[in-house]
Each structure stands twice: as structure tokens, then as C-alpha cells.
Amino acid sequence: MLEKELRKELDYVNKTISRHEMYSHAGAVIGFDLETVCPEKGLADQSALNDFLADKDYRLLNGKKFVSAYEDLYAHLGELGELDKVLISALHRQHSETKNIPPELQKKFNEAFSKSYMDWLNAKKKSDFSLFRDSLEKVREINLKQIELNSERLPVPYDNLLNRYERGMTTADLDAVFSRCKERLIPLLKKIVASKKNIRKDFLSVRVKNEEQREMTDYLLDVIGFDKTRGSWALTEHPFTNGLYKDDARITTHFYPNMFYSSMFSVIHEGGHALFEQNQPRENYVHHIQTEMTMGMHESVSRFYENRIGRSKEFIHLIYPKTLEIFPELNGVSEKQLYEGMNIVTPSLIRTEADEFTYTFHIIIRYEIEKELVNNRLPVDRVKELWNAKYKEYLGIEPDNDRDGVLQDIHWASGFGYFPTYALGNMYNAMYFNTMKKALPVAELVEKGDFKTIDGWMKDHVFLKANRLDAKSWIRDITGRDFTPDDFLDYLEEKYTELYELD
């Protein structure tokens, strides 16, 4: 194809994508409103508005002229620049998933997902899985139909869903990784539970005021380098981050009066997501590839700040004086006690409140269930039973209500394949943390609060190519090594053997 023709088609694609981003931006604002400040009786109308925008956007992205333009460009991929290749490859990949889905059918999918979200909210509120059961069945049907209509579908059904969130990873990869996790972590968990180490935890349930938690939220965001001129925060039921656009990264948290540390680590976690959005290269927006990083990449950063930094001895040392100042209710708690309390291992039911060590089991449980739902058509009526059985098997506990059990997460209201990215994120950041330590005195930097240097290294090494490579290529580019869970497992074994004074 002549260079002039290529440029003309590329210009058209870029203009169309710019319009798509306006729909997407508007939808993201509405979505943020839905989960933060929208009144209960306004939820249905707001959801309908989002469905309307999603339908317009779907029709735009599936217009014949637009599709023809980027498919022509895909046929001449080798003639494009590096970042244009990323965009056109992404469009081709997405088109293979959607080109056999007519707008009318996609509209029905969107409406079903909106209903599923509403049903999940109602079911969780009433702690009754039966109120969500039919919607979960519908979500599964939609995912299977989407896989069936994918023109380049992979032979293992679940791989098609995982590929949406974590390009380059497969069910076979996850089976091997999680098998390794169970092999090394289950015996260690038994030792920890049997340990006679006495960790003070009475202060973890002290009641604090919302005003104090607001002050702590602002303080922690300042510490890690969150740019408040390009971001904000709000309260919600289920904390999340939304990178609306290049200068608008919004995070959320939830305050529990008798669990002050929950919001602290939620803020650091979501703040990590926001740092990713605020520090990715500006040229990504010019070339419309700012959303091409995988979810595992994103989760690696949020959990890097939350756990590898936030739960470290050095970070606790840094924030200890301010923590006692903001929460006078903690008077009498030593720095050592605060560190140990922030890292106590307690098998528990709620994923988002899980300690760093047991968190991986929460992900394994969800992965094993959703893999069964997709690959082996597990009857939806068995999901609750299997959920409870796996919590008993891996963590030795069992929920006595649906709200704290199978209904605790929002994710299944919109499909499957996301959960593994949380665990993969831990594994990625363990690898690049070890690489970072070779270049920087990380512990010293954290202890004195020098996040400018830490964030700078992340920007130059972790954020730079995240939108341009698949997961395995990206972690190899950062570390020079192939992906492995062993750095993460080594870290857990070393940290918690020392903390619990194990042999």
C-alpha cells in the first residue's frame, strides 16, 4: 500500500478512536458516579444511560468503514511505526472477538450485564445467592456465546476470557503457577497457624472517626506521590480506581470505624493504580494505546505499593509518627507492634481484607471455580457449595452467610477471567522489586520517604512499555528473566518465617 494511502487510513482510524474515547470517557464518569454518589433510586436510569452510550460506542467501533480501514492497516503492519502497530494489532484482536456479534445482540449483552450488577447488589444486600443465581447463569451463557463467536478463538474456552485481561497467559500457565503456590504455601500456612508467636492485635479493632480516616487518606496519597491536581478520591462500597483520562485518575476507598487499617491499605493499593495512570508516557494517549496494559501489570503496581512497600518495616517506620498523630486511639502501640499487626496472618473470608500471605488462596479459589464454570459447565447451583468447600479446604474456615461468601465480589456480574490477574500481579512485582533493589537502595529510600526516586524508577522501567508488550514479554524486558512465581514465594517464605519466628 502506498504511504499516502496508509497515512489517510491511519488518520481516519485515529479520528474514530478519538470519538470512541469520548464515549468511553463519558461512560467512565457515569460508572464512577454509579458506584460513589448516585442515589439508590437513580441507579436504573444511570445504568440505562450507560447502556445507551455503550450501544453508540459499539456501533461506532464496528462501522464498516472503520473496520475496513484498520484491517487494511493490519495487512500492512510491518509498514507502520511501533506505537501504531500496537493500536492496529489491538483493534484487530478486539475485532476478532466482536465482528460476529451484531449490535442488537451486543445491546442485549450490555443490558444483561447491567441487570446482573443490580441483581448482585440486591443479593449481596440481602445475603441471598438465589437472587443472583439466574444472572450468574446468564453471564456464563454470554461469555460462552462470545467465545463461540470469536473468529480467532483459542481451543481452551477459559483462555479466551483470560486473554482479554492478561495477554500471553494461559490456563496451563495458571494451573502450573497455582499448583506451585499450593505446594509451597499450604505447609507454611500450617506452621504459621501453629506458631506460638504472640502478635498484638487488640488495637486493630479500635474505633476511629471517619474524619481521621479522611486525613489519613490524604496523607498516604501525598506520601506515595499521587498528584492531586490530576486525581481525586471518593467513598464507595467496593474500592476501585478509574483512569478516566490522562489528567483524571480517580480512586475510591471504604471506611470501617473498627478496622482503620482497611482503608489505609486500600488507599495505597488504589493509589498505586492511579500512579500507573498518572505516570505512563503521554505519547500513549497520542497513539490511543493508554489502555493496552494487562490487568496483571496494573495489579502488580497497586500491590507493589500496598504490600512490598506499604507493609514493609521501612514504610511503617516512615508513617508511624503521623499514624499516632492522626489516630490518637492508637496511643501505646509501638512501631514494632504496628508493623507486626499490619502483617498478621489470619485466615479470613473476605478477599479485599485478606492479609498478604493468605490472599493468594482467595484468588486460587475463584480461579478454580470460574475455570470449572467455563471449561466444564459447572452447574451454577453448585457454585456456593464449591466456594464454601474450597474455603474449608485451603483456609480452614467456612462462611456462614452469602454476603461474606460467594457474593462478596462484584466481578462475576460482568464475566470471568479477571481474578487471576491479582495473583499474577504479586508475582510480577516480586520479580521487578528484586531488579529494582540492584539499582536502588530501596529500603533506605522508603524509610526517608523518597518516593520521587522510587516512582521515577517505576516510570522508566515498569510503566514505559506496559502498553506495548504482552505480559511475559513485558516482565522479561524489565527483569531479563522469564516469568516465574518463585520470587514471590521466596519473599513470602522469608518474610513470614522471620515474622513468626519459625524454624
Give ranges for CATH 1.10.1370.30 in the chain.
171-499
- Please give the helix or strand (H or E) that residue 396 lies within, else none: none
pLDDT exceeds cutoff 80 at 1:
no
pTM given for the model: 0.93
Other CB atoms within 10 A of residue 231 CB: 21
Whether the pLDDT of residue 447 is over 90: the answer is: yes
Q: Give 28-49 as a DSSP string.
A: HHHHHHHTTT--GGGHHHHHHH
* Distance (Å, whole) CA 438 – CA 454: 13
* pLDDT tens-place string over residues 21-71: 999 999 999 999 999 999 989 999 998 999 899 989 989 998 999 999 999
- pLDDT score at 2: 63
State the pLDDT at residue 464: 97
Q: Find out whether 188 and 498 touch, Cβ atoms under 8 Å.
A: no
Residue 407 CA: distances (Å) to CA of 366, 370, 372, 448: 12, 14, 18, 41
| Residue whose C-alpha cell is 520517604 | 449
Give the three cell numbers for residue 100: 460476529
Name residue 287's amino acid.
H
As a whole-number percent, the residues of the chain with pLDDT over 90 amount to: 94
- Asked whether 248 and 45 are in contact (CB, 8 A), the reply is no
CA distance 375 to 100: 22
**Which residue in 270, 292, 356, 370 is the catalytic one?**
270
Residue 395 pLDDT greater than 90, yes or no: yes
**Whole-angstrom distance, CA of residue 144 vs CA of residue 149:** 9
Under the phi-then-psi rule, with left for phi > 0, alpha for psi from -120 to 50, and beta for the rest, what region is 396? left
- 3-state DSSP call for residue 198? coil
Contact 16, 56 (CB under 8 A): no
What CA–CA distance (Å, rounded) separates 355 from 96?
40
Packing angle, helices 359-375 and 157-165, rounded to 10: 130
Task: Determine the Cα angle at 272 with ends 417 and 124, to 5°.
Answer: 50
Name the band, by pLDDT with cuts 50, 70 and 90, for residue 222: very high
- Residues pairing with 251 in the sheet: 233, 241
Angle between helices 359-375 and 420-439 (to 10 degrees): 140
CA distance 120 to 108: 18
Q: Per-residue pLDDT averaged across 153-157, rounded?
A: 96
What secondary structure letter does DSSP report for 151? T
Angle between the N-to-C axes of helices 486-499 and 171-194, in degrees from 0 to 180, rounded to the nearest 10: 10
Q: How far is CA 89 from CA 1, 84, 86, 219, in A?
A: 17, 8, 5, 41
Give CA torsion, residues 60, 65, 68, 71, to 10 deg: -40
**Nearest CA to 167 among 92, 79, 73, 101?**
92
Instruction: Give the model's confidence band at 240: pLDDT under 50 very low, under 70 low, under 90 confident, else very high.
Output: very high
For residues 479 and 434, the answer to whether their CB atoms sit within 8 Å is yes
The verdict on whether 237 is a catalytic residue reads: no
Report the C-alpha gap between 91 and 335 in whole angstroms. Answer: 51
Give the closest residue to 113 by CA, choosing from 34, 209, 42: 34
Mean of pLDDT values over 237-248: 91
Q: What is the DSSP letter of 420?
A: H
C-alpha cell at 429: 512485582
- pLDDT at residue 122 is higher than 90: yes
Question: CA torsion, points 127, 132, 137, 138, in degrees to nearest 10?
Answer: -160
Round to whole Å and give the CA distance between 139 and 131: 14
Mean pLDDT for 405-431 is: 97
Residue pLDDT, tens place only, 318-361:
999 999 999 999 999 999 999 999 999 999 999 988 999 999 99
In this structure, which CATH number among 1.10.1280.10, 3.40.50.300, 3.20.20.70, 1.10.1370.30 belongs to the domain 171-499? 1.10.1370.30
Give 120's DSSP letter: H
165-203 as b/e, with b when 16 or more CB fall inside 10 Å? bbbbbebebbeebbeebeebbeebbeebeebeeebeeeb
What amino acid occupies position 60?
Answer: L
Per-residue model confidence (pLDDT) at position 3? 83
| Residues 433-456, mean pLDDT to the nearest whole number | 98
Rounded mean pLDDT, 458-463: 98
Q: Residue 228 CB: number of other CB atoms within 10 A?
A: 10
Grid coordinates representing 274? 492511579
Whole-angstrom CA distances from 253 to 250, 291, 294, 421, 423 are 10, 23, 23, 20, 21
Strands 248-253 and 241-245: antiparallel
Amino acid identity, residue 266? Answer: S
Tell me the mean pLDDT in the region 120-132. 97
